Amino acid sequence: MSQNKITVLMTALSLASTALASNPLLENYNTPHQTIPFNVIKIEHYFPAFEEAMKQHNTEVELIVNNSAAPTFENTIVALEHSGALLSKVSSPFYNLLSAETNDKMQEIAEKISPLMSEHSNAIRLNEKLFARIKAVYNKKDELKLSPEQKMLLKETYDGFANNGANLSDSEKATYRELSKELSILTLQYGQNVLKETNKYSLLITNKALLAGLPADFMEMLASNAKKSKKEGWLLNLKTTTVVPFLKYAENRDLRRELYMANSTKCMLGGEFDNRENIKKIVNLRLKIANLLGHKSYADYELVDRMAQNKKNVYDLLDKLLIAYKPVAEKEASEIQAYADKNGAYFKIQPWDWSFYSEKLKDEKYAINDELTKPYFELENVKKGVFGLATRLYGINFTKNTKIPVYNKEVDAYDVTDENGKFLAVLYTDFHPRDGKRAGAWMNDFKPQMMDRKIDSRPHIVIVMNFTRPTASKPALLTFDEVTTFLHEFGHSLHGMLTKCTYESLSGTNVYRDFVELPSQIMENWATEKEFLDGFAVHYQTGEKIPADLIQKIKASENFNAANFCLRQLSFGYLDMAWHTIEKPFHSDIIYYEKQAMASTQILPTLSNTGMSPTFSHIFSGGYSAGYYSYKWAEVLDADAFSVFTKNGIFDKKTAASFRKNILEKGGTEHPMTLYKKFRGQEPNIDALLKRNGIN
C-alpha cells in the first residue's frame, strides 16, 4: 500500500474514531442517576452508535465462544446475560422515542436499523458454538446447585435459542434469517403506517351549530387544534382525545358517522399507508417461522411459555367468558335501543350511535357523566392521588427532579425513594398527545433493574399516555377512563420500579405475557374506592372535596355496559387468535375473515367496509401476537387478587407487602403461577371477576 493511501486510511480511521468518541450514546452519562442525556443526543448519533454497539456485542459473544475453559453457568450463561450492555443502552432511548417522539428522520433510521438488528440477533441465536456451550450447561442443570432465579435464567436462555432456530440445519437457519428479517421490516412499516394515517386526517368545522352537544372545554380544544393549523373554526382529528368524546357527545349524527368511519377505515382504503397486504405478509411469515420451528401455527409457537400453555386453554377462557357475558350484553344493548327509541331515534343503533346513547342513558340512570366528574380530576391532583396510593401501600415517595434531562418539555422526571429515603428508581411521565406519539398508553423502561457487580442498579421507567390537554382557560381535566388508564400504566411502572432481581432479562415486567397485566389491572380497582378518591379528588376551581354522593354514583355506574365492554375485549382476543391459529398461508379477504372471527361477540350491526385488523397495532407491531387474550386472563387474576385487599382492607399494609414481595419484586424469576399462589394461597378462578362485574 502506498504511503498516500496509508495516510488517507489513517485519516479516515481518525475521523471515525473522533465521531464515535464524541457520540454521547457511547459515553458514560454524567447526569443524575446516569439518566439518558436527551439534551445532547441528536438524531445523527443513533446510527453510528448502533453500529458500534453491535460490534462490541459481537466481540463479547466471541469471547464467550472462544473461552478455552469448559462451559459453566457463570462463564457462559451469566456472561451472555451481561453481554450487549452498550447495545441495550443505545436501543433504549431510540425505540422509546420511536413510539413517543418520532419523526421522519427517526423512522428512516428505524427502517435501516431494523434488518441490521434482526440479522445481529440471528447471528447470535444461530451461533452453533455458542449454543453448544449453552446446551452443555443446560444438560447438567440437575447436577448444578442453582437458585430458582438461576434455574429460570438457564431455562430462558436455552429456550431463547432453541425456540429461535438454534436446532435448525444450516439451510433452515438461512431461511429463518431471511424470514425474521423480513418480518421485522414489515411490523415496523405496519406501525408507521398507522401513525401516519392517523396524523393525515383532519376535518375543519366552521359552523358552530354542527357541534351541538359538545362540552365547552372540548370545543376549546378543537378550536386550539384549528389555531395551531392556522385555521379558523374547530378542527377534528383521529386522536383518541378527539374521537372518544366526539362520539360520546356530538348530537349531529352525520358527523358522528363521518368521524367513526374515518377512524374505522384507517389503513384499508388504498394508498401508501394501506396495511392489508402487510397483514397477509406478516401472518404468513409468522406461520412459516412457526412451521420451520416444528409448530402447526404461530399460536402454538408463542403459547409454549405462557400461563395459558396452549390455544385450547386460551379458547376455553374466551368461550367461558363469552357464555357468561353475552346474554347480559344483549340485555344492555336492548336497553340502550329502547332508550334511543324513546328519545326520537327512528333507526337501529349503529356503532357511531352507541357511545352517544350509552352516555345519555348512563346519565339518566345514575346522574353521572364525564362533565360532572372531570372538574375533580385535574391532572396534577390525580398525580398526587396515584403517587399517594403507592406511598400508602408500599411506602415509596416521588420527588420531581428538574435536573434530569427529558425528551420533551411536557415530560416530568421523578426520583422514587423508599420509606427510608433510599433511591429506588427514576420515573418519567408523559401525558399528552403529539403528532410524533403513537396512540394508546404504555409503560417501558429506559434502563432495567439488575445486579451489577453486586450493586443493585436501579431502573429508569417511563409511562406514556394520550390524555386530554389543558386549554387556554382550564388545566388538564381527566375523564374517569383516563384516571383508570393512569392507574393501569402506573401499575406497570410499580412492577418495573420495585423489582429486586439479579438478572436484567428476568427483572421487572420481563414475565409471561399473560401475567404482565396483573400488576397494572389490579391498580384500576382503587379507582372507584371512596377512601382513595377522598384523598385527592377536589374541584380544580373551588377546592371542594368530591361529594360523597358523586362517588356513590361512580361506584353505582361501575358496571354500566360492563358486559359489552367484555365482549369488545373478547372480540379482539378471538381476532388475534384467528390470525395466529391459521395452519395454511392466508390469501383471502382480510376484512371478511375478520368479521367471521369476531362474529360470536357482535351485538351491534357489523359494517362490511370497516376493519380492526389494519390498525390492530397490539398484535401486528406491538408484541401481543397470540397474546391479546392476556388482558382477560390477567383480569381474572386481578379480580381474584383484589378480593384479598377487599377482605383485609384496600390499604392493608400486610396484603400490600405480600403482593410486593411475591409479585412486584420477583419479575420473571419463577413461574408466574408459583408466584401467584405464594401471594393468594390458591389458583385463581373466574368467580371474583363475575362477581365484580355483577354477572352472577
Average pLDDT for residues 32-42, to the nearest whole number? Answer: 97
User: What is the percentage of the chain residues whose pLDDT exceeds 90?
Assistant: 94
pLDDT at 696: 72
pLDDT in tens, 70-115: 999 999 999 999 999 999 999 999 999 999 999 999 999 999 999 9
CATH fold group of domain 374-502+511-550 = Neurolysin; domain 3 (1.10.1370)
pLDDT at 685: 87
Three state DSSP letters for 349-413: CCHHHHHHHHHHHHHHHHCCCHHHHHHHCEHHHHHHHHHHHHHHHHCCEEEECCCCCCCCCCCEE
**Which parts of 404-529 fold into alpha helices (H)?**
480-497, 518-521
Q: How far is CA 41 from the centre of its chain?
A: 25
Sorting pLDDT into bands at 50, 70 and 90, what band is 64? very high
Q: Could you tell me if 593 and 284 are in contact, meaning their C-beta atoms sit under 8 angstroms apart?
A: no
Choice among 197, 302, 489, 504 that is catalytic? 489
Sorting pLDDT into bands at 50, 70 and 90, what band is 20? low
> Domain extents for the chain?
3-167, 201-264, 374-502+511-550
pLDDT over 70 at 2, yes or no: no
pTM of the model: 0.93
Sorting pLDDT into bands at 50, 70 and 90, what band is 453? confident
Could you tell me the end-to-end alpha-carbon distance of the chain, in angstroms, rounded to an integer? 84
Sorting pLDDT into bands at 50, 70 and 90, what band is 14? very low
Location of C-alpha cell 430458582: 148
> How far, in Å, CA of 315 to CA of 607, rounded?
25
Catalytic residue flag (residue 489) = yes
Average pLDDT for residues 301-330, to the nearest whole number? Answer: 96
Domains 3-167 and 374-502+511-550 share a fold: yes
pLDDT at 18: 43
Q: What is the mean pLDDT of the chain?
A: 95
pLDDT in tens, 458-491: 999 999 999 999 988 999 999 999 999 999 999 9
Average pLDDT for residues 272-282, to the nearest whole number? Answer: 98
Q: Which residues pair with 235 in a beta bridge?
A: 204
pLDDT at 21: 59
CATH architecture of the domain with residue range 3-167: Orthogonal Bundle (1.10)
For residue 51 the three cell numbers come to 453500529
Nearest to 632 by CA among 554, 556, 577: 577
Average pLDDT for residues 320-344, to the nearest whole number? Answer: 96
Average pLDDT for residues 14-19, to the nearest whole number? Answer: 44
pLDDT in tens, 231-259: 999 999 999 999 999 999 999 999 999 99
